[in-house]
Amino acid sequence: MRPISTWIARGARTLLATCLPTADTVRGPFYRRGAPWRTRLCPIDEPGEPLSISGTIIVLPDCRPVTDAVVDVWQTNTRGLYSNLFGLARRSNARAFNLRGRLRSDDAGRYQFDSIVPGRYPLFWPLTRPRHIHVMVTHPECERLITQIYFEGDNYNRCDPWWLTSTTIRLEHDREVASGRTTSTGYFDIALRFRRFRK
């Protein structure tokens, strides 16, 4: 396992006095161990709007890029169903580890994955979970982070018990003229803590 990079990205220098740790939240009941290593979480023909998420992983307090951080991602399909579950979810999202995957940050702390915009699902009456993506980041020298990416403009955000403005991103939409299909792009930077700062 390679150590945290000692190179400081030009953009990270402006964050030295202001960067804050990414908000930690609950893992939830739908995490499954052993997701495949990949940057595309689903087949190219998966129903839904294509989505690309990227960002940089840094470590506090000096905001250095983190090399070789493991990013574990899981989300629902367009119908709000997770894979690798029993019952209705398994019948409707049957591909093993569909919309789940693990990847690593590069030497500059960057990560990127391709997926689809997730669907909503009912939590308990009358609440509905907004569109979101679960992310767990681990590195030997950093505290584990579990967080969730939300999407700006989702009317269900404010009713969600775990929604935070700090983990909400704005999507950019590009429409292909030939196919008429829209691809959404989002950016989500992640700030971890050194293990030695653990309480």
Question: 168 in a domain, yes or no?
Answer: yes
Query: pLDDT tens-digit profile of 23-35?
Result: 999 999 999 999 9
Which pLDDT value is given to residue 184?
95
Looking at the structure of the chain, the number of domains it has is 1
Residues 6+ apart with CB under 8 A from 92: 77, 79, 81
Q: How confident is the model at residue 9 (pLDDT cuts 50, 70, 90)?
A: very low
For residue 196, report the phi and psi dihedrals to the nearest 5 degrees: -65, -15
Question: 29 in a domain, yes or no?
Answer: no
Q: Is the dihedral of CA 27, 104, 110, 14 positive or negative?
A: positive
Which pLDDT value is given to residue 35?
97
Using CA atoms, how far apart are residues 89 and 83, in angstroms rounded to an integer? 6
Question: 72 in a domain, yes or no?
Answer: yes
Query: pLDDT tens-digit profile of 60-116?
Result: 988 999 999 999 999 999 999 999 886 544 455 667 899 999 999 999 999 999 999
Instruction: Tell me the whole-structure pTM to 2 decimals.
Output: 0.86
Which pLDDT value is given to residue 15?
40
Q: Which residues are registered as beta bridge partners of 167?
A: none
Q: Which domain holds residue 83?
A: 37-197
User: What CATH code is carried by the domain that includes residue 151?
Assistant: 2.60.130.10
Question: 3 in a domain, yes or no?
Answer: no
Burial per residue of 164-176, b for 16 or more beta-carbon CB atoms within 10 angstroms, e otherwise = eeebbbebeeeee
Query: pLDDT tens-digit profile of 165-188?
Result: 999 999 998 876 556 678 899 999
Using CA atoms, how far apart are residues 180 and 173, in angstroms rounded to an integer? 12
